[in-house]
Amino acid sequence: MSLFNGLPAHILLVHFVVVLVPLTALALVVGAVWPGAARRMGVVLPLLALVTLVSVPLTTGAGEWLQGHVDGNALVRRHAELGDGLLPWVGGLFVLAVVVWWAVGRAAASGVGASGGSRWSAVPVRVAAAVLALGVASGAVVDVYRIGDSGAKAAWNDGFSKTASGSGDH
């Protein structure tokens, strides 16, 4: 993708990533910590993670096109480098979302936890999933913040006046 309605597609697609990554991270952590919430989310959790996963290469691809059409500088290069590092984090969100969805569905189908009999064997797995989910979710959200911050600096560096122009009718 290059242009959408006359605008670089990257500046539009980035909004999906900025919203979807934290939303997916939050849903994953809630689902990993609280199996009841994961049961209620059902297949929405892995589908949300899949949409998020697909949005990242679309956005970075559009960003690579845009990078070739703007004056290159260190800020743009830094933003592009950081953007290339997001896909593994979002891939981790997707894999963990599928695992949480599958494990909760399997436990519900087999009645695990209903009688309490096999609940203890599931506790270490749930704790490990919650810790992994929290780690990957935190890494993904922090990475999105860093990428967005570097992109804003690249786009707005010396692109505006710090004092009002006096011509606005506010």
- Identity at 165, one-letter amino acid code: S
- Show the tokens assigned to 116: 């309490």
Which pTM does this prediction carry?
0.85
**pLDDT tens column, 54-103:** 999 999 999 999 888 888 789 899 999 999 999 999 999 999 999 999 98
- Show the tokens assigned to 154: 């690249």
- Quick one: which H or E segment has residue 7? strand 7-8
In the predicted model, is pLDDT for residue 113 greater than 70? no
